[in-house]
Chain A
Amino acid sequence: QKEVEQNSGPLSVPEGAIASLNCTYSDRGSQSFFWYRQYSGKSPELIMFIYSNGDKEDGRFTAQLNKASQYVSLLIRDSQPSDSATYLCAVNDYGGSQGNLIFGKGTKLSVKP
């Protein structure tokens, strides 16, 4: 069974700090990686996706991918209380389940004013 692992948290950071969220995956063939944010009682919303090794930046968010070590991370700079949510990592199941996405259980982030 392919797995996507995330620390459940809660991860607590002060306002203005950098929040670092990590995700490891078991399928070495995975090629597509996604980060979703989910507020309590709401549906997941896409923040970023990354396909290549290295960093991808979008505003205050940076996704980092290291395929050799099989981890992907999300950095949130200048964290705001509105960033408090659960962050889901998703990875495509290459070679199995027709490539559908496998989700981690999420990391709960709390940004304290």
Chain B
Amino acid sequence: DAGITQSPRHKVTETGTPVTLRCHQTENHRYMYWYRQDPGHGLRLIHYSYGVKDTDKGEVSDGYSVSRSKTEDFLLTLESATSSQTSVYFCAISASQGEAPLHFGNGTRLTVT
């Protein structure tokens, strides 16, 4: 299995509080991604990174920010959590963009009350 660790695995937080999810990889892959998965919507890309300090927006980036200060770590921050951000969040890594497959972490289940 690809070495991808997401933390925390579960989190419950209140509306308006900041939340940071962490993704750590041991594969030294250049590309890292954050997806959210919701019933009826499938997997949707939030943000991705193509290198240290190089990030870009995905399909559903509003309300989220990311940072990548090291190759192995990719952080997703919800600056002020809302109930619409209740979801399962998956981190993924890839050796190349769009050509090589993605490998997913185990996910973080976030509930915003």
Which residues from chain A sit less than 8 Å from chain B, CB to CB? 31-32, 34, 42-46, 49, 51, 88, 90, 92-94, 97-101, 103-106
Contact = CB atoms under 8 A, between A and B. Distances in A.
B42 A101 contact: no
A45 B104 contact: yes
Interface stretch (B17-25, B67-75, B77-85, B95-103): B95-103
B43 to A, nearest CB: 4
Between B43, B98, B102, B106, the greatest number of chain A beta carbons within 10 A of the residue's beta carbon is seen for: B98
B23 to A, nearest CB: 12
Given A90-B102, A100-B33, 13 more contacts: A32-B98, A32-B99, A43-B105, A45-B104, A88-B43, A97-B58, A98-B50, A98-B97, A99-B99, A100-B98, A101-B102, A103-B42, A105-B42
Contact of B106 (A43, A97, A103): A43
B20 to A, nearest CB: 20
Contacts of B45: 97, 100-101
Interface of B: 33, 40-45, 48, 50, 56, 58-59, 90, 97-99, 101-107
Between A88, A100, A104, A105, the greatest number of chain B beta carbons within 10 A of the residue's beta carbon is seen for: A100
Contacts of B59: 97
B56 A98 contact: yes
Contacts of A92: 98-99
B98 A93 contact: yes
A99 B101 contact: no
A44 B106 CA distance: 9
Contact of A44 (B41, B99, B104): B104
B22 to A, nearest CB: 16
Nearest to B48: A100
B90 A44 contact: yes
Contacts of B99: 31-32, 51, 92, 99
Contact of B40 (A42, A49, A105): A105
